[in-house]
Structure 1
Amino acid sequence: MNRRKGVFATFGLVAVLLVGYVLAAALAFPSASLLSGAVGTRAPDSTVEALPEYTNRAVIEIRYAANGTAGSSGVFWTELYYRVPGKTNWTLYAPPWNPDGRWFGQLGFSTGALVEGTILFDTYYTGGEATYELSTRSVDRGYWYEAEPRNAKARTTLDTRPPQLFVASPTPQSWTREKTLKWIAVDEVSGVAAVEYDLDGTFVASSDQASGEAPLDLTSEGSHAVVVRAKDRAGNVALVPVAFHYDPNSPVLHITAPARDGYVNSKSVEVRWDADDTGSGLASLRLSVDSIPPIELAGATRAYTLQGLEERGHVVNLVATDLAGNVASETLSFGIDTKPPTVQLLAPRDGGYANRRDVQVLWLGSDEASGIAQFEVVLEGRDPVIVKNAASFTFTNVPDGARSFRVRAVDRAGNAGDATSRVTVDATAPSVEISSPNAGDTVYGPLEIGWSASDAGSGVEKVEFLYDDGVPTVVTGAQTHRVEGAALGPHFVLVRVWDRAGNSAEVGRAFAYGGATPPDGGPFNIGVVDFWLLMAAIAAIAVVSAYYAVRRRKRAQA
């Protein structure tokens, strides 16, 4: 009971003291109210140190100064208020570690007039990234309040995220022939302040363009690295390293088939080529012919067959692209000709004869499409002879006998046309002899001339008989010829023979014709004239013999 009375007595004493304080304050300052905003010169004031326009620190240091002007009571605490765009009301900054939002400066409980302090404004509890307007309100020890915030005393924008940076060129780990750096940087909060880049570890330049391009001083083929840094106004940095390979050289490309400006003899044409790239390597090939859509091929391909081409001229184009984008191209023209040329062998004619050891071969050849490239002239048993821009050739020292000749015309597409001729070579004249009469004979009775003719090569073609200066008589196949009405006296006959090759030979004979019957016979049945000639010869022999006999006798006697 006594204890309860003591408690009530204590509360009563406190109540009396509070009432007395309020009454005294009301009598001394009738226009003021307890714990309310002060007016006049008694209200404290405060300032906030200016903040950067942008910051990337989530915890912002707010430096303030408070001045208590109401006598000697001094500043008791300071409150921090903030607001973000779209909000008109100020919000007391009261984090969990200071739930009443009262911040005491360095002289918080002293009687000094100026108090300075720092408030750690943690945006984690205020909503994160935003533009913050900040204001302070000081309270002195007499509980006089600074006027409620109306205007911001400091402003800053929190941006904790780095810019978004995209390097468009070069592409990471790729090959390129370009010497240009291209980038795009975006920062939605504070904006991009600068873009810097290094090449192979050396700083190159800085640009204030959020999106742009700049030259890269690349001089050597091979691997390189560029590092691009984008900085926003809050100090955040985005860094993109790009390793790439540089190849400024085009591939090496050469079409090996078909031959440039040549012809092929098929409507299916295989196109072959050599291609190489010592830098990045071949990426792809593109083959096209005439106006046909291009054919895409792998970089390792080295041949492709075109099907169903028309028999005419065509144009083929091949484009090689390496991994760096360098391009090499080659174009060539060719034609298709599937028809063989025509050739006609004019001489020697088939089944004919040649009467010379040097045989001239004559021909005609033509080709309407690709044209004649060459002729191959062949004599049986000998190597072919290549002839260009001519229509004849002479084989020398061809032996007698049956021989085969061939002329082959080859056009520019490789098509061939042949003409052959089977010929008998006979360069030897036929043989002919007159068997009767003998040279110098006097013929009596019927006048019949006999002979023999032969030819071992081509055979006897024709025989003519000539008597004195008369007209030749063809006597082919005969071996004798009777002359009718021959006159007495000396005569001359000629037998001329031709073989099938055109060789000729002839033989003549002089004789006398004594008439139909011989004259009467002398001693020993010898003709009178012959008898006396014989007698004269015997007498001459006898005289000579006697002369030599006499001389020997005289020598013996001496």
Structure 2
Amino acid sequence: MRILRGALVAGTAALCLLTGATTAAAFAEPVAAAVAPAADQVLTWTANDSMTEYASAPATAVAGTATIVFENSTATGNTSFMTHSLTFDTSTPGYNHDVDVNITASPLDSEGGRHEVQATLTPGTYRYYCTLPGHTMSGELVVTEGPGEEDTTPPEVTAQVDGQTDADGNYLGSATLTLTATDDSSGVDTVEYTLDDDNYRSYDGPVTITTPGAHNVHYRATDKAGNAAEPKTLVVNVVQNSDDTTAPTATATVDGEQNDEGHYVGSATVTLAATDTGSGVDAIEYTRDGGAYTAYSQPIVLTETGEHTLTYRARDKAGNTSEPQTLTVTVDPLGDGVAPYVTADLDGEVNTEGSYVGKATLTLAANDTDSGVASVEYDLDGAGYVRYGQPVTLTGVGTHMLHYRATDRAGNVSAVQMLSFTIAEAGDVTAPVVAVQLAGPQNWSWDYVGPVTVTLSATDESSAVSRIQYSVDGAVFQRYAEPFVIDHVGTHTIRYRATDEAGNTSATASVTFTVVASTGPSRQAPQPNPAFERMV
């Protein structure tokens, strides 16, 4: 196995969970690589701000040497300086495992986020994914034979039958069929067989035949180039082992560290065994937590916290099956050994260059599902770590580098994360001053006995007034253009505000007055009333 590693990076702006064994491609638009000589192959993956898909990725390649390029940079659309990885799966069944590629890239690393490694690809399918927590980026790369290496030879397939036989060659109680296929060129794709019918089924492992009688088996194999071997035929005779009518004895043992309550700490290993003095043990089966019976082949390791129930049984070669037995095992968690997960978020007005205007508000958050978060700390521009308690407003003009980390109650400290950002000068940050003036005839109670003229005005010493808005009696705000008249009897409230050219808006102010029907002479002629002239 070739081990090819990309450069480790010094920082990240956000964390990307190791995805599960999914085979669904998750990149945005797969780019089919052109079929070219293997030595000339350059396979390129790119990443941007997405945590769910690669920006681009090849879908196919040809077998042989290839240059694998992974670029995660501002040029590929990463504007958040987020770290991504490209890792080839070397454990999930059904995929090629002969290339070990693990590249981590960031726009802030020494290579600017672009890394290259060499790999030798073989026919088949490779699975790749991002290993960073929180990321679900994954996909498949299908590798075929290169030009001039066409595979036209079908695979070789053989069958082997095991079991206890009598003098006539009949199998006593049961027979186990094992199929094996080889292909020296493109490789074996499928192995199939039929058993007493014409329906071919996929061969996934040894097949045990227990029903007495003559059984017809047909089997074949197909390689990855599509070449199919001619079907072969085998007859398996199974007879009842009349001498053995006693079921085997099945036992279970559990190993692992136990606490005072008898629970297993961290994990428990269950070993099953069976004995049969007659025809011999044919198989041991078990179920786990109510699932289907599974053939037992090796010790069962339980690591999930909680109570587990195992039911097990054994079958001998004469077809006798023991009564199911049940075992209950409880697994308690180990001490907390996992560091907390910490994130950073900046909020504020951003200009066209991506800089925060005047100020930025920093919010840090951490999560720990075991012992809980003990503290979150940050270091701004190398000034030293400070304990984080609540959102912090940053106002210093210039480019800043933030380091942050979290510690849980068990003492586990997260890896230090980094975030770079810039604060630009804000310019005018002062809201305009707005005033209101009421004019109209009033009685001795200062109520208006006729139409009221409302005049609004505003001043701004910096960027100038952009607009004045007002609302009458709770209606929607509208733009003020000229004085307006209120002549409906009743109490009225005018709300008003102003905005300058820099976007600063004054606090909303209000004035309330009453218009009544005239019941006597006015206190004065219609003139502006100083009592209702307000300025904000």
Q: TM-score range by the shorter chain?
A: under 0.3
Provide the TM-score with structure 2 as the length reference.
0.25
Find the structure with the greater CA-based Rg. Answer: 1
Q: Return the structure number with greater helix share.
A: 1
Provide the TM-score with structure 1 as the length reference.
0.25
